Structure 1
Amino acid sequence: MVMDVDISRWILDFLARQPIDDTTLTKLLNTLPILDTDTNLKKLLILRKIESEMSNGNVSEDVLDLLEMMEELEYRDNVKVGDSMKRAYCDVAVDCTIRALENEGLGRYFELVKKIWRNRIGWMLKCENVGLVSYDLINWRDDVENAVGDESVCKEVLVKWKGMDVVESVREFVRDAREMIGPSFLEVACEDDRVREVLGFGAEVDEDDGVCDQTDAAKGGKNDEDGNGCDQTHATKDEDSHDQTNATEASLKERNNTVQDESAGGAAGCESRGELPLPKKSVVSPVKRDESPKPLRRKRKPWSNEEEDTLRKGVKKYGTGNWKIILNMYSDIFDDRTAIDLKDKWRNLIV
């Protein structure tokens, strides 16, 4: 049986925040269905990858790739990149370059200046609306470029770099990003009575199962001693059901034979049977025939600023895709709206 996509998303969203190993999480991602539009889950996975990359106390160029992927997701969600993310990207770019200058010499340093600052960051500066660009990034770009041919500038850059704490800078960004994403939907659902009511949590147990559980508890294990109880009751039910099924099949066969005999007798006496009077045809005017009722179309209702703000608030709290939950939680605001309306409007808002 294929798991519901919403339930799968809620489970993965919860597990992505837990201290489980990456291998187990990867297996779950390959097993459970996820939507490509679920950007919050993608962000959580990127943050986990960044933390994994920093597990040895250092950063690498891979963190630059991950931060750029994060910025792309923020751009799709129409979210402004925060200062902590800009600072983290700048510090990682500086650390990767200047560390090579100290440990591997000018040859490797020149290579990284070209790769990171002239190509990667140079392309960003030429483009518009790239959220990772900051004044610090521009100033550092001038410093690392000038250090290529000036030994005094090279020494100044090394001193300036040693005063940085790049790991803490990235950790600060991760904390801010997790806070912006907010808690998992399952955590919110456990704390909100209205959400549990909408989802149907806390429903009564099936009557048969409840009776068996209560009977077992009342007997205090008596069923285990004498071998009777719920198992015997279910077995008896199965036997009765089997007998009833056989009796029903026999009854159907008898009825089938009777019907066949009656059909044969009826066919023999067909000639003496009188014809039934045909119903009179009513004449319908061609004009009235075309006056069939047409389906009523729902009148379009413009979205108010309050509705748009509430939709953003709902998505931030309950996550993208939980349209029915958001609709029920803010039913007083979304009057005459449907879950499809919320989904379509959100798609227009983030374009």
Structure 2
Amino acid sequence: MVMDEDISRWILDFFVRQPIDDSTLSDLLITLPISDTDTNLKKLLILRKIESEISSGNVSELVLDLLEHMEQLQYSDNAKVGDTMKRAYCVVAVDCTVRVLEDEGLGKYFELVKKIWRNRIGWMLKCENVGLVSYDLINWSDDVENVVGNERVCKEVLEKWKEMDVVESVREFVRDAREMIGPSFLEVACEDDQVKEVLGFGAEVDEDSHDQTNATEASLKERNNTVQDKSTDGAAGCEIRAELPIPKKSVVSPVKRDESPKPLRRKRKPWSVVEEDTLRKGVKKYGRGNWKFILNTYSDIFDDRTAVDLKDKWRNLIV
């Protein structure tokens, strides 16, 4: 039995935020079906990896890779890169480079300047619409290059680097990013009565339905006892089965068989301002991707709409 994709996403969205070990989370990711288009889950996994990397109190070039991946997801969502993310990327790039200037000398420093600043960041500065570029990054790009042969600049760069709290800057970005994503859907569901109503939590059992179920069970038991009595009265070794009527085959004309009804196209219905505002409200409250749930929650407003309609409209709204 394959789990519903929405339920799978809700479970993963909840557990990826919890302090569980990586092996348990990996098992969940392998077991539960996930959608490749769920960018929020990808962002949460990146944030979790970043937290793991800085837990020792240091940063590495892997954090640069993760931040660049995060920026790509932001770009695909048509979302802006925040100042805390730009600052985190800048200070990590500086730390990965300048730290070796004090510990290992100019040889290793030149190697990292070429690798990080001339190749990786240099490519960003030449391109347009790269969200990680900031004025601080541009200024530092000049400073790290001018260290060569300039003792005064080298001293200034080392002093500015020592004043940085690199790990705290990255932690600040992680906190900001989690706040932008918002709480998990299951956390919202536990506190929202409207969500509970849509999901059917705490629904009262209909007495008529309960009586009908009991009557059906009693009828099935009585029928079963009757069959057992007949099998007991029969000859030993004989097997008696209840015979069901064989359905009659209906003869269909070859001409009519080939006539398939043409699919009816839905009449295009323009979106109202109320529908657009409600869609924004639903995405903000319950998260992007929960289209079926948002549709059911505001069914009185989204009349004659489908989950696909909501998904397509949201793409147009964020462009």
Same topology, TM > 0.5: yes
Q: Give runs of aligned pairs for residues 1-351 of structure 1, distance below 5 A.
A: 1-204=1-204, 243-246=225-228, 247=230, 250=240, 252=242, 297-350=265-318
Cα shift at 1:306: 4.8
Shift of the 294–58 alpha-carbon distance from structure 1 to 2, 3 Å rule, reads: closer
Runs of 5+ unmatched residues, structure 2: 212-216, 232-238, 247-260
Shift of 1:308: 3.4
Could you list the structure 1 runs, at least 4 aligned residues long, displaced by more than 6 angstroms after superposition: 236-241
Q: CA deviation at 1:344?
A: 1.9
Q: Check whether the contact 2:195–2:297 (CA below 8 A) recurs between aligned residues.
A: yes
1:223 — aligned with what?
none
Whether the 8 Å CA contact 2:94–2:140 is kept in 1: the answer is yes
TM-score by length of structure 1 reads 0.75
- Quick check: 2:39–2:73 contact (8 Å CA) kept in 1? yes
> Cα offset for 1:128?
1.1
Query: Number of aligned pairs?
Result: 291
Take 1:241 and 1:303, find their aligned partners in 2: how far apart are those partners?
55
CA-to-partner distance for each residue in 1:38-68, whole Å, 9 max, x for gaps?
1111111100000000010011000000001
Q: How many Å separate the matches in 2 of 1:32 and 1:251?
A: 43
How large is the Cα RMSD of the aligned pairs? 3.1
What is the deviation of 1:346? 2.3
8 Å Cα contact 2:10/2:184 also seen in 1: yes
Q: Which moved more, 1:122-131 or 1:335-344?
A: 335-344
Bigger RCO of structures 1 and 2 (CA < 8 A, at least 6 apart): 1
Q: Distance in 1 between matches of 2:108 and 2:281?
A: 48
Q: CA deviation at 1:345?
A: 1.7
> Do the aligned residues in 2 keep the contact of 1:53 with 1:59 (CA within 8 Å)?
yes
Give yes or no for contact 1:50–1:66 (8 Å, CA) kept in 2. yes
Contact kept? 1:84, 1:176, Cα under 8 Å = yes
Q: Matched residues, percent identical?
A: 80
Contact 1:74 1:80 in 2 (8 A): yes
Q: TM-score, length-normalised on structure 2?
A: 0.82
Give, in angstroms, the shift of residue 32 of structure 1: 0.8
Aligned to 1:289: none
- Render the CA deviation track for 1:218-262: whole Å, top value 9, x for unaligned: xxxxxxxxxxxxxxxx9x999877544444984746x99xx9xxx
CA deviation profile, 1:270-323 (whole Å, cap 9, x unmatched) = xxxxxxxxxxxxxxxxxxxxxxx9876432123345533432332232122211
1:8 deviates by 0.8
Q: CA, structure 1 residues 104+205, in 2 after alignment: closer, same or farther (shift >3 Å)?
A: farther
Report the Cα distance in structure 2 between the residues aligned to 1:70 and 1:20, rounded to whole angstroms: 22
Q: Residues 181 and 316 of structure 1 are in contact (CA less than 8 Å); yes or no, is this contact kept in structure 2? A: no
Q: Which runs of 5+ in 1 are unaligned?
A: 212-233, 260-292
Alpha-carbon distance in 2 for matches of 1:56, 1:305? 50
Label 1:147 to 1:298 Cα distance change in 2 as closer, same or farther (>3 A): same
Q: CA deviation at 1:103?
A: 1.2
* Paired AA for residue 311 in structure 1: L
Task: Tell me by how many angstroms 1:98 deviates.
Answer: 0.6
- Distance across 2 between alignment mates of 1:305 and 1:154: 58
